[in-house]
Amino acid sequence: MRIWAARLITVVLVVSLIACGRSAPEESLVVQQRSQLLARFTLPQLQDLPQVEIRTPQSRGAQVQKGPTVRSVLDAAHATGVATVRVIGRDPAQTLTLAELTDQVILDVTKRHTLKLAGTNLDLSRWVRDVTGLVVNP
């Protein structure tokens, strides 16, 4: 019961942090591990990471997505012991296992200058628009 309560508190804190931290032109991506803030990335910082292009035939829009892999973002944030990652954004949050975090799962930089979780083998229902947070081992 304590573990469940701690996880719930962590999720609530992350969502609150993300909601309070929004600013108009300079959105950021918050990376947390448990309750510790590991990093906050601006869009230009994420664009400085190695960019990957992936084919996404399941997409209703662009068939090619481009951005950093989720793993490269976690590496840049110095996340350790990653087993799962919770991706938080406008759509329902998604939890990905380490095995799912391939080089084909990225944070696509959209035309609106926001981030979108996308992946070649990731079902469209698991994509997350307007990503604002990654929580390691929630």
Which pLDDT score, from 0 to 100, does residue 13 have?
A: 45
**Across the strands, what pairs with 69?**
106
| Three-state SS letters, 50-74 | CCEEEECCCCCCCCEEEECEHHHHH
Owning domain of residue 56: 2-136
Q: Whole-angstrom Cα distance, residue 105 to residue 119? A: 4
- CATH number of the domain residue 45 falls in: 3.90.420.10
Mean pLDDT of 5-18: 46
Q: Whole-angstrom Cα distance, residue 57 to residue 125? A: 14
**36-63: b or e for each residue (b if 16 or more CB lie within 10 Å)?**
eebbebebeebeebeebebebeeeeeee
pTM: 0.79
What total of structural domains would you count in the chain? 1
- Using one digit for the tens of pLDDT, what is the confidence trace for 61-93? 888 999 999 999 999 999 999 999 999 999 999
Whose tokens are 């481009």? That residue is: 66
**8-19: b or e for each residue (b if 16 or more CB lie within 10 Å)?**
eebbeebeeebe
